[in-house]
Structure 1
Amino acid sequence: MTSVQNTPHTHLTPKRIAVLISGSGSNLQAIIEHQKNHAHLYQIVLVVSNRPNAFGLNRAAAANIPTLTINHTDYASRELFDESLQFALDKAHLDLVVLAGFMRILTPHFTQHFLGKMLNIHPSLLPKYPGLNTHQAALQAGDTQHGLSVHFVTPMLDSGPVILQATVNIEPNDTAESLQQKVHTQEHLAYPLVIEWFAQNRLQYKDNQAWLDQKPLIIPQQL
C-alpha cells in the first residue's frame, strides 16, 4: 500500500475548523492532540454537539475550545435544526467543518452550503456498508477485511468522494465490539492526517471529486 508523504508548506494562514460531535468525542480528542503540533496549520475554533450530555464537550472544554450545544430535540423539523446549525457555523467564519461521530443526517441544503468544506469519517470501506451497524454487517458478510473511509460530505448519505481509507483484518474471533476498537485506532490516525492535508491546501473538492496535490483521487489513499 502506498501513502502520500507530507511536504512542507510555509506561510499558510491557519485554517479555522469546527468539529461536530454527538458522543464521546474520541476522534475529536485525536484531532485536538494533532493540533497541538500543527497549530500553524489549523485551529479548532468551535465544537458543536446536538446532545447536551456528549462527553466530547468535556474534552473540548479541557482544551479551552469554545463549545456550543444545539439540541436537535428543540426543533420541530430537520430543516429548522440545520438552519440553526448553519447559522452558528457561518458566524464562526470557518474554513472546514469536521463531522466526528455526529449522528445526524444533514439536509441537502446544508450539505450543499458546505460542499467542499465538510469532511466525514465512516466506519467501513465505502462504498461498502453505508449507514449504521457497519461492523456487524462486515462480520455477517464473512469479510476478511474491514476499515474506515474519510470522505467529503455531499447530499447523498456516505456517498461523497473518498479521500483516505485504512484497512483492518477481521480475525475468526472478532466481534462487532472488537472490530470497532480496531477501526477506532485507525480512525485516530487517519482523520488528523486528512485535516492536515486540507490545511496545507493539498486537498480540494472539485468536479465532484477529491483532489490531492493537484491530481484527482481516482483510488483513495491508503493509511
Structure 2
Amino acid sequence: THSGVRASAIAMDKMSAKAMFMEYDIPCARHVWVTRDEIANGTALPPPYVLKPNNEGSSVGVEIILTPEEEQNMLARAWVHGDGVMQEEFIPGREMTVAVKDGKAMEVIEILTGNHAFYDFESKYVQGGSEHIIPADIQSDLRDRLQRHAEESYRALGCRGIARADFRYDPENDRLAILEINTQPGMTPTSLVPDAARHDGMSFADIVAWMVEDASCER
C-alpha cells in the first residue's frame, strides 16, 4: 500500500526530503547536517533548535534545545545520534498535519500535546497523549496554504496512496514550515489518518478497504 521504495526512501532521509521540498518552493525551517564537534565549537545553528536523527521515524531521538544551558547539558550526555544529525531551527507555535489521499489534501488537523514539549513518541502512541482538533481552528487562507503545500510535497517525492505532511506554524510571524512527509502514516487507535478519514465520512474499515483496493504490486 501507499508509496513505493523511492518516495519512501527519500522521505525517510530528512536531509534529502528537505532538498526536494526546497526545489518545489515548499517553506522549510533552516537546517544543516551537523556533528557533535560542530555544536560544541559553536559553528552550528545557535539555540533554539531541534536535533533529529536523519533517518528515524516516530520522533525517535528528537531533542529540542531552547537555551545554551540545555545545549551544554545535551553535549555532556552520551552522544547517541551516530556521526551526525539534522539540526533544524526551532519554530514556536502550533503543530499541524494534513493527510493527502490519492493526491488530494484531506482536512487540516491541529495536534495538541498537553504536557509534552512536542509530538513525541509517547504523545503519538499512548491513549490520551495528544488531542486532535479537526477541522483545525484556523483561517481559510492558512488552511489553503497547508493543503496546497501538503499536495506539493506529495507530488515532489512521487508519493501515492495516502501520505501525511507535518507542519509547524508560528502565528506571531505568520510563518509556516514543513517538517516532513510520512509515506506510511500510522493506523493505530491514536493515529491521525483515521481521524481525517472519519471527518470525510469514512469508517476505519472503509479507509483500510480503500488502501487495499488502491494498492499495487507494480513498484
Q: TM-score, normalised by structure 2?
A: 0.28
Query: Which structure has the higher relative contact order (CA within 8 Å, separation 6+)?
Result: 2
| TM-score using structure 1 length | 0.28
